[in-house]
Structure 1
Amino acid sequence: MPLNIPTLVMVDIYVLVLVGLLMLHAWRRGRRDSTLGYLAAALLLGALGTVLGSLRGIGMDFVPLVLGNGVLQISAALTWTALRVFVGRQPHLPGIFAGAVIWTLLCLNPAFYESLAVRVMVSSLMTVCYTGLAALELWRSRRSLEVAWVPALVLSLFHAGFYCVRIVVDQGMPFDMALASAGQGTRFFALLVFETLLYAIGMAFVILAMVKERAELKFRAAAYCDPLTGVGNRRAFMSSGEYLLKGCAQRGEQVVLLLCDLDHFKRLNDNYGHATGDQALVAFGQVVEGSLRKQDVFGRIGGEEFACLLGAADLEAGGQVAERIRREFAGLPLLEPGQLSVSIGIVSSRDGGYDLFRLLSLADDALYAAKDKGRNRIQRYPAD
């Protein structure tokens, strides 16, 4: 079935404007991620470039050939910039305008200006370059991206591949509405308009989904993170701890729980100020994180109370970790020697089973025994 080129061009312009305005609205509502702002600009400029390009045949060929194609190159560059910003890199302003500048300079050459085949080849190469750069941004950041980035990569590669095919098989057909309406157009040009339309729609909604997914991950991480120390909060500790206990129970591995409480924390706040108390909490969190393995679970579960769950460990190993934490925290140069100390209660799954609430209760008993014995010490459950 033949595709009507004027109708496709009109639909292309309408959809680009509509989707561009939707992305602009989403960006203005969010105000936190400039990715959607660059994407909205790319779509709206794509619509403008298509409008300018469709003015062939009315005596102003400079407008569609130079301005229209230049705007389309900036549109392609902004799509690349949107993905570049999404992965955490700064916009490359020279790169955004490089394609349009090169195109304008080439059009000053009469041989280039009057050769449709050469113009088609150069324009397609520029589109391939910008789309390839967009795909490269995703690929080089794939290890750090926590969102579904593969659809955007596939769309970019398909779009670049389509324009590579165009370089080989398409000799070009100008945006001449009069000729197109009379049926004098190539089928490939109709496919070009159709594919570009689908690419624009697909990339818009894929990038919007990526931005939304990343925002949801950030909110979820914030809900499970202690804002002062940066370690997991009580909710995170309970959730991850239950998961660790379940796995260790299935494998028959021992688990050790360390319950830590900073000694005389209220007195520290009263004597040195809350800012120093906050520094002590942050420093303690850093000491503990440096003493644990990747698979261990750690969190701040109260004001000055922290808990560590060590998988595949016995009381002996747990005691060594606890002693290292106690010694390193006491030796921090934050205050005068003897001002920083921590008491730690330890319990093993051999005594408390794999019930996290019971382990916390027994570790709390051991912790209070350590407090009663003078603080700045480690006490295993059951207490002597």
Structure 2
Amino acid sequence: MALGLSLPALDLPTLQFVTFLLSIATGILFMLDALRRDESESPRWWSLAFLLATFPPILYLLAARGPRLAVLYPLGNAVATLAFAMVWSGARRFHARSVQWVAVFGGPAVLLWGTWLFARPLDAWSGGVLFFALLALYSLLAAKEFWQASGSRLPSSIVLTVVAVLHGSFYTARAVALVWLGPDDPRFMVGFGPEVATTEMLVLIVVASFLMVSLGKERSEIALHRAATRDGLTQTFNRPEFIRLAREQLRRHGVVRAPVALLLLDLDHFKRINDTYGHPFGDTVLLLFARTASQQLRSDDIFGRYGGEEFALFLPGVGAPEAQSIAERVREAFAQAGRIVQGEPVGATVSIGIACEERSRGELSSLVQRADRALYQAKAAGRNRCVRYTPETAMPAAEPAPLRIASGG
């Protein structure tokens, strides 16, 4: 005789109790994370959201004990709605966007007020359509914020977007089914009943909490990488990262013997600017140059601060005529932008040395040395000009140009 085994079905109170335990544990974990991370408000909002999510199961369990406690149903719905509004707010704060306080508290307030006034006698389904619609709305708003985070190369934000959209779609469908079928229809109970919704909420808490933690870690890793590879003032590549990226491109273009160009750009009379207006003002001029130059470049150009007031620009796949054109474009744009800085007639300009190879040999030190010599010639010729290295522009052997690349390169 075959022995038939069947798994016991979880009843609604059991599911709600598990949801309570999971919500409070997740909320505490996010609270600890919020105390550890001072740079982001998102864990604080998500901690509040999960801690608030502990109350609806308790309120629903109490409301089910008798008609006199049915008033707790809409209160539980309002608290659940507020929890999802705080998830949305945390997603906004992840991007340093402002919290929409009216929208956060307006939805739960309208739900509570409308249910108590217009949905009597109160029961488990009072105000259900509005409740489901608000949960769907806040979920889709959160999905929009998470999707915008995906532009920062955060893989978890893409998955969070999908999860939030699926949750919003479930509650949209639940609202439609409640109107179309009613809560007593067996088809509604099978697809959208309390047991199904609570199970979906359990899965959501587990998946979303894991992804939210991953999201914070991914952003921290990107921030650390950026701090290690970018200049703190101008946010262009710092010198080590510029050299690394330029060498990498040189190797690639050296294989196919493609043209490359390297520019050294040095702000003219920068010491005079610092002495006249002060170092903070000098930093403003450096920032202005970095922004102005960046606007003239292609997406695959490598632009970095080489040291002090000197910048370097590597142009992959660019021959001499185009390199000269790009250099002149940068010089002219900065000469115009630097005429008046913060109301002061600064007249800031830049001199540019250009070194080109029609067929890359993969040697960065040689390019830097030639660009440096051309830059010396641009300075000697009166500044605010671009000079391309040729054998004719090379300095005499008695006056070697200082090699500005790091040792070994």
Normalised TM-score (structure 2): 0.79
Deviations 1:15-63 (A, max 9, x none): 1001001111111211222221111111111101221221021564145
For 1:360 and 1:235, locate their aligned partners in 2 and report how far apart those are by CA, in whole Å. Answer: 14
1:195 match: 200
In structure 1, what is the Cα distance between the partners aligned to 2:115 and 2:384?
A: 79
Task: Give the equivalent residue in structure 2 for 1:64.
Answer: 72
Structure 1 pair 4–375 and aligned structure 2 pair: CA distance change class (3 A): same
| 2:135/2:171 contact within 8 Å kept | yes
What is the 5 A alignment of 1:256-271?
256-271=261-276
Instruction: Judge which range, 267-276 or 85-94, deviates more.
Output: 267-276
Map of 1:181 onto structure 2: none
CA distance, structure 2, for counterparts of residue 291 and residue 130 of structure 1: 41
Counterpart in the other structure of 1:353: 361
| SS in structure 1 at match of 2:321 | helix
Query: What is the 5 A alignment of 1:220-231?
Result: 220-231=225-236
* 2:239 counterpart of 1:234: yes
User: Equivalent of 1:38, from 37, 40, 45?
Assistant: 45
Q: Deviations over 1:249-301 (max 9, x none)?
A: 34542111111223443344335433443343333323422332232211111
Measured in 1, the distance between the counterparts of 2:190 and 2:221 equals: 46
* Structure 1 counterpart of 2:321: 316
Pair 1:97 & 2:105 matched: yes
Check conservation: 2:15, 2:198, Cα contact below 8 A.
yes
Match of 2:351?
343
CA distance in 2, matches of 1:228, 1:111: 59
Partner of residue 29, structure 2: 22
SS in 2 for 1:100: helix
* Structure 2 CA distance for partners of 1:121 and 1:112, relative to 1, 3 Å: farther
Q: For 2:120 and 2:324, how far apart are their aligned partners in 1? A: 78
Q: Of 196, 204, 212, which aligns to 1:207?
A: 212
Matches within 5 A, 1:95-174: 95-109=103-117, 111-114=119-122, 116-117=124-125, 119-139=127-147, 141=148, 144-148=151-155, 149-167=157-175, 168=177
- Of residues 2, 9, 26, the one that matches 2:16 is 9
CA distance in 1, matches of 2:131, 2:320: 69
Specify whether residues 253 and 287 from structure 1 end up closer, same or farther in structure 2 by C-alpha distance, changes over 3 A only: same
Segments of structure 2 that go 5 or more residues without pairing to the other structure are 1-6, 393-409
Q: Deviations over 1:317-367 (max 9, x none)?
A: 222333444455455324899974543322112487222233213322333
1:327 & 1:189 partners in 2: Cα distance? 68
Equivalent residue for 2:406? none
Deviation of 1:372 after TM superposition, in Å, equals: 5.1
Find the aligned partners of 1:119 and 1:279 in 2 and give their Cα distance: 57
Cross-structure match for 2:339? 333
Q: Which amino acid is 2:38 matched to?
A: R
| C-alpha distance 226-142 of structure 1, shift in aligned 2 (>3 A) | closer
Structure 1's 112 and 131: CA in aligned 2 closer, same or farther, altered over 3 A? Answer: farther
Contact 2:245–2:302 (Cα < 8 Å) also in 1: yes
What TM-score do you get using the length of structure 1 for normalisation? 0.83
Query: Unaligned 5+ residue runs, structure 1?
Result: 174-184
One-letter code aligned to 2:40: D
Q: Secondary structure at the match of 1:310?
A: strand
Identity %: 31
1:364 to 372, 379, 399: 372
What is the letter of the counterpart of residue 333 of structure 1?
R
296-305 or 256-265, which deviates more: 256-265
For residue 378 of structure 1, report the CA deviation from its aligned partner.
Answer: 3.7
CA distance in 2, matches of 1:219, 1:285: 22
Q: Which has the higher contact order (CA 8 A, sep 6+)?
A: 1
Residues 74, 327 of structure 1: CA spacing in aligned structure 2 closer, same or farther, 3 A cutoff? closer
Q: Deviations over 1:112-144 (max 9, x none)?
A: 4346555444432332232233223344x3674
Contact 2:258 2:359 in 1 (8 A): no
Other-structure match for 2:310:
305
Q: Which residue of 1 aligns with 2:293?
A: 288
Change in 2 beyond 3 A, CA 1:196/1:256: same
SS of the residue corresponding to residue 41 of structure 1 reads helix
Kept in 2, the 8 Å contact 1:330–1:337? The answer is: no
How far, CA to CA, are the matches of 2:345 and 2:87 in structure 1? 57
Matched, 1:278 2:283: yes
Q: Which amino acid in structure 2 is aligned with residue 155 of structure 1?
A: V
Aligned length: 372
